[in-house]
Structure 1
Amino acid sequence: MKVATFNTSKGDIRIQLFDKLVPNTVANFVKLIEDGFYNGLKFHRVIPDFMIQGGCPLGNGTGGPGYQFADEFHPELKHDGPGVLSMANSGPNTNGSQFFITHVETSWLDGKHSVFGKVLDGQDVVDAVEGGDLINEITLSDE
């Protein structure tokens, strides 16, 4: 099992990545982590009782890694509760570096945003994150 640990200014969030079910989306995320892309970025969009969003290098929701890639959906992966890690986008096939983690079930996002992970530990941290809080670093491990 591939795990991403987000070290944030509010604490750690451990997330299982679904590399077997959505390999392209996870590979993109892993590459950005390995490149240090997310280090020092902030959670630029936080909506209570909905989600926290990060991964924008400009800090305002308009930036990305300089490319876009296709949506990747798997029938088993849904926005079915708190702790779902999914790609933020601006429409079909516009994924880049931005992601969000849910506070609650958000089923209306199914088929629009690519789910690629689930919180294992640290949902309390997800719920405590406020706009402007930092992603100090994301590390990867195989467990």
Structure 2
Amino acid sequence: MKKILLSLILGLNMTLANAAEPVRVLMETSQGNITLELNADKAPKTVANFVSYVKAKHFDGLTFHRVIRGFMIQGGGYDEKYNQRATQKPIENEAKNGLKNVRGSIAMARTSDPHSASSQFFINHADNSNLDFPSFDGWGYAVFGQVTEGMDVVDKIAEVKTGNIAPFGRDVPVTPIVITHVTIIEAPKK
């Protein structure tokens, strides 16, 4: 009995020691600041991918190029002139991680190929359970964090006037919403 209890305690301690710490990110935009907490424990590959883009300053100067009120705001791929920035290779879809596409969550944007996400992301403006695993295509969209401060900024972005602008068609902000700078910030002291 003592061996079983000791094994359980050691197992719990190992699990706690191996749990990845959340990563906090500050996203400065032309509409205000958004603070995100990324869940490196449940979405390790996705968070590592996003952090690598932050460290490379990939997002600085890009826009939220697709905005749909009551659905989501999408960015991370195009600048103000709609030039696409080069990306790293796509990552494995981690949508099976149990995190949900709820209001304020951040998830990876992708094509119809479930494993095509690279740098583009979206912040859910509403609960979008239809995007959760297994979704309509057997995969879903991988959530990897949430907004902890600045949901008012997300709401403000979601309310901007959009129109049909080439090459995207509709849902493009008429006045570009620029991501001016993204940085990793320290967690507040407890």
Length-normalised TM-score, structure 2 = 0.70
Residue 45 of structure 1 contacts residue 61 of structure 1 at CA under 8 Å; is this kept in 2? no
Match in the other structure for 1:122:
150
Match in the other structure for 1:25:
46
User: Structure 1, residues 85-134: CA drift from partner, whole Å, max 9, x if none?
Assistant: 00000021011000000111000000211100101010010111142200
Identify the match of residue 183 of structure 2 among 117, 139, 143: 139
Change (3 A) 1:73 1:97: same
Identity over the aligned pairs, expressed in percent? 37
Q: Map 1:95-110; keep pairs closer than 5 Å.
A: 95-110=117-132
Q: Map 1:59-78; keep pairs closer than 5 Å.
A: 65-78=87-100
Unaligned 5+ segments in structure 2 are: 1-21, 134-139, 161-172
CA RMSD of the aligned region, Å? 1.8
Change (3 A) 1:20 1:29: same
> Secondary structure in 2 aligned to 1:21?
coil
How far the C-alpha of 1:46 sits from its partner, in A, is 0.2
Residue 87 of structure 1 contacts residue 115 of structure 1 at CA under 8 Å; is this kept in 2? yes
Report how many aligned residue pairs link the two structures. 142
How far the C-alpha of 1:142 sits from its partner, in A, is 3.1
2:59 equivalent to 1:15: no
Q: Which runs of 4+ in 1 moved over 4 A?
A: 58-64
Max Rg structure: 2
Q: Map 1:82-93; keep pairs closer than 5 Å.
A: 82-91=103-112, 92-93=114-115
How far the C-alpha of 1:69 sits from its partner, in A, is 1.4
Length-normalised TM-score, structure 1 = 0.92
Identify the match of residue 52 of structure 1 among 67, 73, 77: 73
Unaligned 5+ segments in structure 1 are: none
Query: In structure 2, what is the Cα distance between the partners aligned to 1:83 and 1:106?
Result: 10
Q: Which amino acid aligns with 1:106?
A: N
Change (3 A) 1:123 1:117: same
Question: Larger % of helix: which?
Answer: 2
Residue 57 of structure 1 contacts residue 64 of structure 1 at CA under 8 Å; is this kept in 2? no
